[in-house]
Every structure is written in structure tokens, then in C-alpha cells.
Structure 1
Amino acid sequence: MAARNRMPPWHENVRLANGRDILIRPIRPEDAGPMQAAFTLLEPDEIRQRFLHPMKELSAQQAERLTRPDPRRDFALVAAEPLPPGEALVGAVARISIDANGKDAEFAILVSHYVNGMGLGRHLMRRLVRWAKGRKVQRVYGDVLESNLPMQALAASLGFRREPIGQAGLVRVVLDIPPPKPKTPPPPPLMSLPPGA
């Protein structure tokens, strides 16, 4: 997968390993309709891994809520066809939401089987973590089904650790984000003494 071209913030043109071009960008309200349509193309296991329970459809209310994140605490990206929002088929969604404590943030990622296995989940996760760091979040976490071994392996490869949550069938993966190191001021300039001083 290779990112190409200079784009607005959080926008990237990406070519997948299969040669397919996609656009990674912030989610838009116009994506609600295409997301509902794309939901019907998902495998039942894909839906269960993202929502942690079976769902037959994505309701208009759910799609509306997903596509209108609160800019104060939420961030969501889509990987879609390089077409205008509302026309583009959405192949992946990545979302992160800051908890009420302002220190923790929960992530969720769904990559459809049409674009799975091409590094897209890793790419999106890195973008979510980068956003969280910019918001001074100290901990990023997500609850993953125990059977979702690919997601657990991806999280582990990015430095996430497992944390028990006491709920059967679920595993919590957690990434601790160290605070930024304070910038050390440059040393004062050397003073030259006049001759004979």
C-alpha cells in the first residue's frame, strides 16, 4: 500500500496492493447512504467483529450518528472510492472517541473483506493513534472478540497490550501513550571576551 500526492489534512490517496486506488478521508454526513448500502455486503462475521453482536442492517439513525462525529471528542475516517461523498462506496471505517475523563479513547475499525489483508487496518489504526496523541490522550483501547485473532495480532504489532475486562468472549487491547517530552531549550550562545579581559 502506498500513499500518494499532497492532500488536505487527513486526506490521502492510497494505492492498495491489488492496484486499487482509494481515498482515506474524514467521514462526512453524505456517507450515511453509501454506508447503509455497503453494510448489506458485509459478511455476518465482519459485522459481529465490529459491533460485537449480530446485526441485519445499519439503520438510518445509526448511520446518521456514525457519520456526524462530535468534533470535540470524536474522529472518524473512511477508506472509500475516490468519488465525491455520497457517491463513493465505503470499504472501511475507523473511529475513535475520547472518554468523559479526557484521558482515554476507544477505537473501532471495520475493514470489509473486499479490501482486507492489504495493510489498510494498520494504516487506519496509526492515523487514529496520531489523532489521539494530538489531543493529549494517554490511553487508546478497544474491545475485541477473542475469536478476532487478526485484530489482536495487528494491535500487538503496534504496541498494544491485553488487559482483562471480565467479560466472556472479549479481550481489551490497550496502547499507553507516553506524554510528549518537554523541549529542552538551546544552550546559551558562547560569549566572546574582549582581548585582555
Structure 2
Amino acid sequence: MSPRNRLPPWHEHLRLPNGREVLIRPIRPDDAGPLRAAFPLLQPDEVRQRFLFAMKELGTEQAQQLTRPDPRSEFALVVAEPLPPGEALVGAVARASTIPGSREAEFAILVSHYIAGMGLGRQLMRRLVRWAKGKKLERLYGEVLEHNQPMLQLAQSLGFRRESANAPGLVRVVLDLH
């Protein structure tokens, strides 16, 4: 590939098993509108698995906070149509945030049912792990609903171990990075 055709860091074009083309890329402020517009398309269980409680909409402030990660301590990716941010439909979001005063980061991933089961959770999780290792963190963890078997199986396949969480119905999955 010639240098001028190379994608920026953290960008990758993929063709999904259903033939759809998507772009994995860092989240952008312009994604706030499409994220808010697509939120009602999510199934209630998808929202609960990511946010751990029911929500009917993604508020303006929440969307702005999500789409403006602090590059010193946060990292967020989307799986979107290969269109410019602000125009592209976003089908998945992954985020990792360092815990102040520690060498740990917490992750969260949401993959819409429209593109679930196509390997995107694995793709996103691998990138979050790579980011965390690049930050020289010691652990990456996430809180997962105990009935979210696809996420628990994915985490286990990537080397995460299970720990008890601080809330009933949750499992903490932890990856030691050193």
C-alpha cells in the first residue's frame, strides 16, 4: 500500500461476514449526533448490558462526554459506516478509561444486535488491550452482567479471569497486562 493510501493510526476497514463494509476508528465529536439518533434502535437488553440499567435515550451531555475522550486517560473507538464522522451510522462503541491514581483501566463495549456475532467485540477488545499496554497499565477490567454469556466467553477467550464484582448480578473480568 502506498504511504498516501494508508489509514491513520487506530483505523481499519473491515468487510463483515454479511458483506457490509465498516470502519473501526477513534470516536470523534461529530459522532455525538448519530449516536443519539441511533440509541432508540438498540434493544433494551443491549442498553442494560452496557450501561447496567435501562435507558431510553442517550442525553446530549452524555453523548458529548462519550465522544470527547481525554487522550491522556481515555480511549474510545467506534465501528461505523465508512462515511465521515457525523454522517456515519455507528454500530458499536468501545471505551477504556484509566482509574485515577492507579495503573488500571476500566473498559466497556456495546455492539448493536445488527452487527453482533461478527467478531467485532473481539476486534474492539484487542484494540483496547493494545491501548492499555501502550499506556503501561497493569490491569484492564470491566463489569459484565452475569447473564451476558457472549461477553463473558469473549473475555475468557482473550485471557481475562473472573472476579466477584461489588454488585449483585455482575461479574468483573480482569486481564493482567504485565
TM-score, L = length of structure 2: 0.96
Q: Conserved in 2, the CA contact under 8 Å of 1:11 and 1:24?
A: yes
Distance across 2 between alignment mates of 1:110 and 1:166: 21
Aligned length: 174
**2:177 aligns to what?**
177
**1:106 aligns to what?**
106
**2:22 aligns to what?**
22
Q: Alpha-carbon deviation of 1:42?
A: 0.2
Distance across 1 between alignment mates of 2:127 and 2:103: 18
> Does the residue aligned with 1:129 lie in a helix, a strand or coil?
helix
**2:84 aligns to what?**
84
After superposition, the Cα gap between the structure-2 partners of 1:59 and 1:166, relative to the gap in structure 1 and judged at 3 Å, is closer
Distance across 2 between alignment mates of 1:35 and 1:122: 21
Distance across 2 between alignment mates of 1:165 and 1:21: 37
Distance across 1 between alignment mates of 2:165 and 2:171: 7
Superposed, 1:31-70 pairs within 5 Å as: 31-70=31-70
Structure 1, gaps ≥5 residues long: 179-197
Q: Conserved in 2, the CA contact under 8 Å of 1:6 and 1:12?
A: no
Distance across 2 between alignment mates of 1:165 and 1:145: 10
What is the percentage of aligned positions where both structures have the same residue? 71
Distance across 1 between alignment mates of 2:166 and 2:128: 26
Distance across 2 between alignment mates of 1:152 and 1:92: 17
Distance across 2 between alignment mates of 1:101 and 1:141: 16
Distance across 2 between alignment mates of 1:166 and 1:105: 16
Q: Conserved in 2, the CA contact under 8 Å of 1:106 and 1:140?
A: yes
**1:137 aligns to what?**
137
The residue type paired with residue 99 of structure 1 is I
The residue type paired with residue 63 of structure 2 is A
Q: Alpha-carbon deviation of 1:166?
A: 3.7
Distance across 1 between alignment mates of 2:155 and 2:129: 11
Distance across 1 between alignment mates of 2:35 and 2:165: 31
Distance across 2 between alignment mates of 1:166 and 1:88: 37
Distance across 2 between alignment mates of 1:133 and 1:159: 14
Structure 2, gaps ≥5 residues long: none
* Structural RMSD (CA): 0.9
> Does the residue aligned with 2:113 lie in a helix, a strand or coil?
coil
Moved over 3 A (4+): none
Structure whose alpha-carbon radius of gyration is higher: 1
TM-score, L = length of structure 1: 0.87
